[in-house]
A = this chain, B = another copy of it.
Amino acid sequence: MATLKYSRQRESIKEFLMTRKDHPTADVVYENMKKIYPNISLGTVYRNLSLLSEIGEIQKLSNFGSADHFDGCVEPHCHFMCTTCGDVLDLETEGMDDLIEKAGRNFSGKITACDIRFFGTCPKCMNK
């Protein structure tokens, strides 16, 4: 991999994601970056989101809906998507650590990762 050079844009994207508790899409990141860098391009946003998730500084959540979502928190945790409003939220993970081991019992391949996602109605939409 090539040497990494500093870029203001990348720094801002990472910072933005870390201060958001939701999990915005590339487009939302782009719209927010335009407030700081009016000429920033969507391509730059995508390139940096890929780069950041490759080096493990952010997490890419693929296919909650049609567009990818990005999470500034890289600690392993589950996600929940509200089927009413489309929001993606974090969820407690306790008691799910042995899933990979359990799943491997009847499988002759090797399982290295696991992704759990929940769906339903979020607290906000429950009160409507």
**Which residues of A does B touch, CB under 8 Å?**
62-63, 78, 80, 82-83, 91-92, 94-96, 99-100, 102-103, 105-123, 125-126
Given contacts A116-B116, A117-B114, contact A96 B107 (CB under 8 A): no
Interface of A is mostly: mixed
Q: Do A123 and B109 touch across chains, with their CB atoms under 8 A apart?
A: yes
Alpha-carbon distance A99/B83, docked complex (angstroms): 19
Closest to A102 in B: B95
Count the copies: 2
Contacts of A122 in B (CB 8 A): 109
Tell me whether B91 and A103 are in contact (CB under 8 A). yes
Chain B residues with CB under 8 A of A106: 91-92, 94
